[in-house]
């Protein structure tokens, strides 16, 4: 045992902090901020999203790109979901986690369900008035008025249902 005032032996110094001193989630969130800043610098609403797979690999990193691609649905989350799906050449992303710098809008939440993302984490909450300010597009069944939902089927509705029935029956036959 060396005396207390002995010079420190470099071989006994504690090892340096590991480079992943931030948690996995925190480091992914930092990447969302980088993507958000890039989007903001390009004139987009500064939101960024990152997708990590079950093994910890980063599959996608994207910012809002509505102006860049001329598509009001090109939100960061959707861009990242599509990028990740292309990367692994699958339509679904089970086991994946989506990180986003802003609470996802209803459109992106629905997309996450469609892509079967397992977890989603966000940083900033969306102000409630931002959601209330959006008026959903009025949707109604063809042939029904806005005030009364008549039980009469519009003439083409059996065809729409039949297409789906035939499709799913053929799928079952091939299973």
The binding site for Zn ion (CB under 5 A) comprises 75, 105, 107-108
Which letter does DSSP use for residue 101 in this model?
Answer: E
- Whether the CB-CB separation of 63 and 47 falls below 8 Å is answered with yes
Residue 104 or 164: which CB sits closer to Zn ion?
Answer: 104
Least separation in angstroms between residue 86's CB and Zn ion is: 19
**Rounded to an integer, what is the distance from CA 120 to the centroid of its chain?**
7
Residue 68 or 107: which CB sits closer to Zn ion?
Answer: 107
Q: Of residues 44, 77, 113, 169, which has the active-site annotation? A: 77
Active site residue 77: yes
Which of 136-144's residues contact partners 24+ apart within 8 Å by CB, and which partners?
Answer: none
Segments of the chain assigned E as strands: 48-52, 58-63, 97-102, 119-124
Which letter does DSSP use for residue 89 in this model?
Answer: T
Residue 67 or 144: which CB sits closer to Zn ion?
Answer: 67
Query: How many other CB atoms are found less than 10 A from the CB of residue 37?
Result: 14
Least separation in angstroms between residue 102's CB and Zn ion is: 8
Least separation in angstroms between residue 73's CB and Zn ion is: 8
**Residues catalogued as catalytic:** 77
């Amino acid at each position: 045992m060396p005396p207390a005032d002995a010079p420190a032996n470099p071989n006994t110094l504690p090892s340096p902090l590991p480079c992943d001193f931030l948690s996995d989630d925190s480091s992914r969130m930092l990447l969302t901020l980088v993507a958000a800043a890039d989007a903001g610098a390009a004139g987009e609403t500064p939101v960024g999203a990152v997708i990590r797979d079950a093994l910890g690999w980063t599959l996608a990193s994207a910012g809002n790109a509505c102006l860049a691609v001329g598509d009001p649905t090109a939100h960061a989350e959707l861009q990242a979901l599509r990028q990740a799906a292309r990367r692994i050449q699958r339509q679904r992303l089970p086991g994946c986690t989506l990180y986003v710098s802003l609470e996802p809008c209803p459109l992106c939440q629905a997309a996450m369900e469609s892509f079967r993302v397992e977890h989603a984490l966000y940083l900033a909450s969306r102000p409630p008035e931002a959601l209330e300010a959006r008026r959903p597009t009025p949707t109604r069944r063809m042939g029904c008025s806005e005030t009364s939902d008549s039980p009469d089927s519009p003439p083409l509705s059996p065809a729409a249902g039949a297409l789906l029935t035939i499709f799913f029956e053929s799928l079952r036959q091939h299973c």
